[in-house]
Structure 1
Amino acid sequence: MKVLLTSILFGTILVLTGFLVMTAAQGKQKVGLSLPEKVQNLHDMNLKKALLRFNGQKFREYIKNPPRNYSVIVMLTALAPSRQCQICRHAHDEFTIVANSYRYSPVYSNKLFFAMVDFDEGSDVFQMLRLNMAPVFMHFPAKGKPKGADTMDIHRVGFAAESIAKFVAERTDVQVRIFRPPNYSGTVAMITLVCLVGGFLYIRRNNLEFLYNKQIWGAIAVFFCFAMISGQMWNHIRGPPLVHKSQNGGVAYIHGSSQGQLVVETYIVMFLNAMIVLGMILLTECGSQNDQRKGRITAIIGLVLVAIFFSFLLSVFRSKAQGYPYSFLFK
């Protein structure tokens, strides 16, 4: 009997002890870090890295949950190669420049921090903020919740480091002077190109009649126009993907929005413009043919090229500008 009572008493003590330990742990977890601990931890992390990298837990601990007497500029992005977000990589580079410029500037203090949340490390943060796109730059003020103006409009102002610094100044009154690391790749490429052209001209110094060839200069001018109107400069700045998946699971070669384009789309537009120009050239030159039969055939071929490829080009424009009412030959 005494053994049974002793066992019951011992078991009761164990249950009560476990309950007290769990209650204390839950209470401690609920309380979380104090404000001085948060600031000190952020300062220590900032000493190691100018741009803090948060997951969902750290986001809630240091940004979402009070108390907080500091502002945080957060970039929500998707840097994994499987996400195929080329813009995110460029935006991350620009945001890192801003964070480094602030970290090593005289205005640095514990009142402002820069952080990023990657989708694969904090998808719950995207759900919490109701975001379905990346990259997004948001300002979390020291007091209160973010408002509409606390989200940077990158579609209007872009995501260059200077634009981000201006956004930071507007929301926090902290003026960040941008210091970009030196980049000599453009200078080296220009010097190399000049040396190659100069060496070629020196080798052909006794035979430079080709410089007066109108056809060569005309072809160069037309190719330059094709490259510019097809969007090559946009590709160089934004770095879009080659192709992407369509909504039905297939491969899309034309971007469905007028706010973007794909690399393959650039070459498609260039080819269509080239065929239209070729057709116009044939229509223009048909009258100079001595043989009337050849002139008519040349005119018919030129007219067919212009009609067909202009229709294709108009179809591409219709697919990007939703609601455009006009079409020609093809929808």
Structure 2
Amino acid sequence: MRVGSRPSMASVAKLGLLALLCTLAWIQLPTALAQRFANKDQTSLYNRIQSSSQGFVDVDAKEFASIVGLPRDFAVSALLTTTNGGIKCPPCVAFQPEFEKVAQQWNRDKAVKSKHVFVKVEFSRAQQVFAQFQLQHAPVLYTFPAPSNTNAVPDHVSFDFNERGFAAKDVADHINSLMNTKFKFKQPVNTKLVTASITGVITLVGAIFFLAPYVPVLFKSSKPIWMLLCLGSMILFTSGHMWNSIRGAPYVAMGQGGKPEYFAAGFQSQYGVETQIVAAIYALLAFSFIALTVLVPAQRDPTRQRAGVYVWSAIFLATFSLLFYIFRTKNPSYPFRLFF
């Protein structure tokens, strides 16, 4: 270009394009740096989980956002719970050991270890996460699948505790179905139960060996004790204790609004606390019947005898009505009722 001549349109266009590119690069620089640091934090947290002996790590709100943030090539299961602090959550405490079992075994399986990680989000450390998902109850188990070619931003999937229960195997099956993996969960040996069983057997054998000569005398002179033992056993098993032991039913569940749910819907499921409540009702019914047939007739005072009949009859009928009411709560189509 000669001195004093006007710049050509091509030169102006080149300068303008260069200025535009510089401006866009300057605008995108903070975002690129933030993305780089975010990926670095995610990688660091991912490596921590992979090397954890527990199979998971406790995270705060910032770490949670980092580990579930995109892009990533692995899935994340996050347990939102509250097992410490001032909030009491029996279901959270009950599910925590099951969550730990799944996470530990998953982290030891090299075939699936790199495809999925577990994190735990405590309410006391990450209230923002609970607010983000508008949660009013716990525990909640969310799985965030890895992006794919057909779904770049997949939605998280919630584990339904009310439908599936609290068992570790159910959680493992849930994750397998989401990720199409073949992870096999094996229930670990309960060393405490084995030790207690061996100790109990040794104690029982020793007691039988040393007390065998006195057993006939014990049967003859301890009739009330054996009656109570028999009644207690019948009440324990008719209330559903064996069903809970075999099926691994949760002790309690969280209903709508985060309120504890003591009775499971339908006659094909129940909770541990429900068994205890029904057992207490059966025990009161049995004792009131015994009182009416044994204790009340033994009263010599006619006034006390009449009062005993009224009181124990009222207790018996009211308790029986409560039992009917519980059955109708589990299944509204239950046809029987008494007082309420």
After TM superposition, the score normalised by the length of structure 1 is 0.69
1:72 Cα offset (Å): 0.7
The equivalent position to 1:314 in structure 2, one of 309, 321, 336, is 321
Indicate how the Cα distance of structure 1 residues 67 and 93 shifts in structure 2: closer, same or farther if over 3 A, else same.
same
- In the other structure, the counterpart of 2:199 is 192
Indicate how the Cα distance of structure 1 residues 328 and 307 shifts in structure 2: closer, same or farther if over 3 A, else same.
farther
Residue 321 of structure 1 aligns with an amino acid whose one-letter code is T
Q: Which of 158-167 and 36-45 deviates more? A: 36-45
- The whole-number CA distance in structure 2 between the counterparts of 1:101 and 1:323 is 39
Equivalent pair of 2:324/2:336 in contact (CA under 8 Å): no
1:206 Cα offset (Å): 2.5
Indicate how the Cα distance of structure 1 residues 33 and 155 shifts in structure 2: closer, same or farther if over 3 A, else same.
same
- The whole-number CA distance in structure 2 between the counterparts of 1:299 and 1:29 is 87
Indicate how the Cα distance of structure 1 residues 240 and 100 shifts in structure 2: closer, same or farther if over 3 A, else same.
same
- The whole-number CA distance in structure 1 between the counterparts of 2:285 and 2:52 is 58
- The whole-number CA distance in structure 2 between the counterparts of 1:45 and 1:275 is 51
Q: Which of 45-54 and 124-133 deviates more? A: 45-54
1:204 Cα offset (Å): 2.9
Equivalent pair of 1:283/1:303 in contact (CA under 8 Å): no
Indicate how the Cα distance of structure 1 residues 308 and 45 shifts in structure 2: closer, same or farther if over 3 A, else same.
closer
Indicate how the Cα distance of structure 1 residues 239 and 174 shifts in structure 2: closer, same or farther if over 3 A, else same.
same
Residue 55 of structure 1 aligns with an amino acid whose one-letter code is D
Which runs of structure 2 are paired with 1:282-321 in the superposition (5 Å)?
Answer: 283=292, 301-302=308-309, 304-312=311-319, 314-315=321-322, 318=325, 321=329
- In the other structure, the counterpart of 2:229 is 220
Secondary structure at 1:83 match in 2: coil
Residue 195 of structure 2 aligns with an amino acid whose one-letter code is V
Equivalent pair of 1:76/1:137 in contact (CA under 8 Å): yes
1:54 Cα offset (Å): 1.7
Asked if residue 125 in structure 1 is aligned to residue 129 in structure 2, the reply is yes
- The whole-number CA distance in structure 1 between the counterparts of 2:38 and 2:204 is 66
Which runs of structure 2 are paired with 1:51-70 in the superposition (5 Å)?
Answer: 51-63=56-68, 65-70=69-74
The equivalent position to 1:170 in structure 2, one of 174, 177, 180, is 177
1:266 Cα offset (Å): 7.4
- In the other structure, the counterpart of 1:73 is 77
Asked if residue 112 in structure 1 is aligned to residue 112 in structure 2, the reply is no
Equivalent pair of 2:49/2:117 in contact (CA under 8 Å): no
Secondary structure at 1:106 match in 2: coil
* Deviations, residues 257-286 of structure 1 (Å, cap 9, x unaligned): 5249897x9777655433422333455569
- In the other structure, the counterpart of 1:17 is none
Indicate how the Cα distance of structure 1 residues 54 and 188 shifts in structure 2: closer, same or farther if over 3 A, else same.
same
- The whole-number CA distance in structure 2 between the counterparts of 1:61 and 1:141 is 15
1:307 Cα offset (Å): 2.8
1:311 Cα offset (Å): 1.1
After TM superposition, the score normalised by the length of structure 2 is 0.67
* Deviations, residues 207-235 of structure 1 (Å, cap 9, x unaligned): 32134776544321211233345676769
Equivalent pair of 2:60/2:125 in contact (CA under 8 Å): yes
* Deviations, residues 136-184 of structure 1 (Å, cap 9, x unaligned): 111111122425xx21111111121111110010101122222444332
1:37 Cα offset (Å): 6.5
Equivalent pair of 2:165/2:250 in contact (CA under 8 Å): no
1:305 Cα offset (Å): 1.3
Secondary structure at 1:258 match in 2: coil
- The whole-number CA distance in structure 1 between the counterparts of 2:73 and 2:88 is 37
Indicate how the Cα distance of structure 1 residues 317 and 58 shifts in structure 2: closer, same or farther if over 3 A, else same.
farther
1:62 Cα offset (Å): 2.0
- In the other structure, the counterpart of 2:285 is 276
Equivalent pair of 1:278/1:302 in contact (CA under 8 Å): no
- The whole-number CA distance in structure 2 between the counterparts of 1:226 and 1:123 is 44
Q: Which of 77-86 and 202-211 deviates more? A: 202-211
Indicate how the Cα distance of structure 1 residues 216 and 171 shifts in structure 2: closer, same or farther if over 3 A, else same.
same
What runs of 5+ residues in structure 1 fail to find an aligned partner? 1-22, 242-246, 248-254
Which runs of structure 2 are paired with 1:22-171 in the superposition (5 Å)?
Answer: 27=31, 30-33=34-37, 35=39, 38-39=42-43, 41-49=45-53, 50-63=55-68, 65-143=69-147, 144-146=153-155, 150-171=157-178
